[in-house]
Structure 1
């Protein structure tokens, strides 16, 4: 996994009281980590400076099984990630960094729109790196919870990054799982893939936008990116089409699909690729796409179809294309970040203490939403949708 989208992009995980931990067991684990670090070529001074002082943050344990890419309806997920704000900001980034992006494309063969789309989804163009100290999270996850071996590897990779001088300790903040920097690389991916594109002798994906953009393109190239090819095309299914043959891993020649009556929804010609898959992210009643190798490359960045569609569709918007032609199968579409902020303001106006208006639908916002849903006779699910926004936009008596 190259990266994990920040929880703030689509909503925060449910709040939970951090569990206690066994201090003696933790101390023994740190001693084992010290031996592992030494065997990996990490000096005792580096380990003692950056791991010995760490106090575990057990709140990360609740996040091990929380991934919004799999829990959130795709129309909600995309509404917050591929909104007008991000499209406008992305176009501004394309212009501001045009020279760097042209060089990146020349070296790695990945188009500027795709690279900038990854940047936009991962950190909102560098404005949201995440707030969790990596060493704290990774040390905790190396000693507690599931997948300790995986997180130990990430912790050791982080220590090597520090020891090599690529990133300063204060730059090591990010997601709970350890992804950090402009395009949210996991530390082990950073060690393998990151490049020094600005020529300063450091591979710095925190302080150097050129390094971050080039490293992202390098990742996609090494994941099988095909220069000049599209990631996919929205298609129309014929009546009665057997959707059991759909799925990202069911790859067939495009001719297989065309022979069964599948057509591009815009009337254009489908390419003659030998590897394509029919993907229905919301089932038969929603939009359908034929996707190609470049979709797989995007998917490899963070193995979730919703995530891959966010990158792919944002890159299309940055090229001047519109979103899906077919509608999502819902009568209550999701909210953009602006819509979420508007909803939060309306909740505050009705007396709910939800904290800051930030567009992140966390536990306090969901509790307020449930209260308003109950008052309005709506299904009480804590979801921030357009129906609720419209209902609350009608002034309540006394407001």
Structure 2
């Protein structure tokens, strides 16, 4: 695996964990001796919950407190990536071209999944590409050690203890040997990066091997993804969304990704498809999403967009999956590209933006360096008062405008 692929995998994990910024975590003193004492108690509980002694002996052999895992879990993002910074790393020419080739290569298997679960093959390939570069890098951290470390650490102990117990059940059921159970530092496993609890719920033995092998069996990987998406609520015969254009002087407050209207209603408000064609006449509900400022692309997103977000809560991730799936079957690129002043904001820069909005008399709430709904509302109010496109997007461009106008 190339360095670039490893780097991209790390960036994706960091981005996903940064979608809901947390307060800085000050961990209590920890040591290998304390970890081993905790582990002894956990193994006793696992034995009482039905995990065999043989599995416990194999799974926890040479397991130690993994300081690297703790470091990654505690890392706070220094800046917030823009939509374009994420999107252009996710939907690359290589990923599109590779996805197209694999889509054609595995089309018969993908069609079987579509018949069973209703999820078109292009989406399965897109998820596969986004999660592990089509199986090229599934992670090399021992899952039991990473989950044990995160279970011991008190920050999210309850969540990870459940995942650790689920991982032990996977081993106990004979699906994989502990030495081969490797994945991300946070416990995601296999070519589709399922957490252990999701593995137990949704993984499928599609090749009838007697094992649900998400590391080596593509039938198991494809069917498991299809089963997962179906259970999350995938709507058969529906798309994920479409890029659209907005009329002049459009009320950008409607582009919140939540306000759902029929396609007929959106058409009457002047929206068109990105290529200029009219929206189809339909009662189908859609929400309007503007992931960047007014200069970026706009999307009408349907119920399946929400399903993609149940896999990963990030709007940018869901847009990347949907657009990559479209490109895999030959649909055109986005109509917009990143502006020259596309720059990410540091936490301190967001604080400065908030401080200047407060000086301008806007109700900013807490000045914390996190651009939440309160910050966006305040920014939109400032933009309206100053004759600017009221997109509410906390951009580098808006910071420069505030620096010039609010002193």
Task: Verify the 8 A CA contact 2:288 2:301 in the aligned structure 1.
Answer: yes
- Secondary structure of the 2:144 match is helix
The CA distance in 1 between the partners of 2:167 and 2:293, in whole Å, is 40
Task: Verify the 8 A CA contact 1:254 1:275 in the aligned structure 2.
Answer: yes
Tell me the TM-score normalised to structure 2 length: 0.74
The CA distance in 2 between the partners of 1:99 and 1:154, in whole Å, is 34
In structure 2, do the counterparts of structure 1 residues 63 and 226 end up closer, same or farther at CA, with 3 Å as the change threshold? same
The CA distance in 1 between the partners of 2:340 and 2:238, in whole Å, is 32
Task: Verify the 8 A CA contact 2:32 2:65 in the aligned structure 1.
Answer: no
Structure 1 residue aligned with 2:261? 252
Structure 1 residue aligned with 2:51? 42
Residue 313 (structure 1) aligned with residue 309 (structure 2): no
After TM superposition, the runs of 4+ consecutive aligned structure 1 residues lying more than 6 A away are none
Shift of 1:203: 1.0
Structure 2 residue corresponding to 1:224, chosen from 233, 237, 244: 233
Residue 58 (structure 1) aligned with residue 67 (structure 2): yes
Shift of 1:73: 1.9
The CA distance in 2 between the partners of 1:317 and 1:184, in whole Å, is 23
Write the mapping of 1:1-399 to structure 2, written as runs, cut at 5 A. Answer: 8-9=8-9, 11=11, 21-51=30-60, 53-64=62-73, 71-266=80-275, 267-270=277-280, 272-331=282-341
The CA distance in 2 between the partners of 1:271 and 1:199, in whole Å, is 45
In structure 2, do the counterparts of structure 1 residues 112 and 258 end up closer, same or farther at CA, with 3 Å as the change threshold? same
Segments of structure 1 that go 5 or more residues without pairing to the other structure are 335-399
Deviations 1:234-280 (A, max 9, x none): 11112222222322333333333233222222214336244321111
Kindly indicate whether structure 1 or structure 2 has the higher relative contact order, using CA contacts under 8 Å at least 6 residues apart.
Answer: 1
Task: Verify the 8 A CA contact 1:75 1:333 in the aligned structure 2.
Answer: no
Shift of 1:10: 6.3
- Secondary structure of the 1:250 match is strand
Count how many residue pairs are aligned between Structure 1 and Structure 2: 326
In structure 2, do the counterparts of structure 1 residues 53 and 200 end up closer, same or farther at CA, with 3 Å as the change threshold? same
The CA distance in 2 between the partners of 1:66 and 1:116, in whole Å, is 31
The CA distance in 2 between the partners of 1:271 and 1:200, in whole Å, is 48
Task: Verify the 8 A CA contact 2:32 2:64 in the aligned structure 1.
Answer: no
